[in-house]
Amino acid sequence: MITTKSLTLKPTILSDAADIQAYFNNWEIIKWLRPPVPWPYPENGAEQHLKEVAKNPAWHSFSIRLHGSDKVIGSIRYERHEDKDTIYAERGFVLDPQYWGKGLATEAADALNNYVFSTTDITEIRANNAIGNIPSSKIKQKQGFILQDIVDIDPPYHSGTSKEEEWVLPKTVWVTKSR
């Protein structure tokens, strides 16, 4: 469990599916995602996804809750990868739109960055977002992520954009920035 000023992040479990399903089946979220996330989102989509996450030991998924509440208002995850030069994590998050604009996504992402860099051997976090997803880009900029590239992708995001920003946050940058 990870706690912040306003939030509790707990490992995601199957019983979180109903809350996730309730906010996730929303065009304002789905438009910034791409296949294999389906649109329209299926009735049991959250449950299916959580079952897949549980099968993959590289995935580490956390539910986001306000302190004192059992209601899941978002989720954040990282997936550990290794290549010949780097041990890195890919990070992603989703927040119920009724909680947007309150700094909660940044708070959850800061907490996950701290957790990853202080408890694992991961040396950088990578994150991508669709061109046009300005709030997601702003969170990365605040955290010290470095824009590496803008690339064409296929299949495109559900919003129709086929361009994606690729960001990286080296541990050295995060440690220096978070002091």
In order of their start, the domains of the chain are 2-177 (3.40.630.30)
Type and span of the H or E element at 93: strand 87-95
> pTM for the whole thing?
0.92
Cα torsion for 144, 26, 52, 9, to the nearest 10°? 50
Bridge partners (DSSP) of residue 59 are 79
24, exposed or middle or buried, with CB in 10 Å at 0-12, 13-18, 19+? buried
Along the 179 residues of the chain, how does pLDDT read in single tens digits?
999 999 999 999 999 999 999 998 899 998 998 888 888 888 998 898 888 888 887 789 999 999 999 999 999 999 999 998 899 999 999 999 999 999 999 999 999 999 999 999 999 999 999 999 999 999 999 999 999 999 999 989 989 889 999 999 999 999 988 75
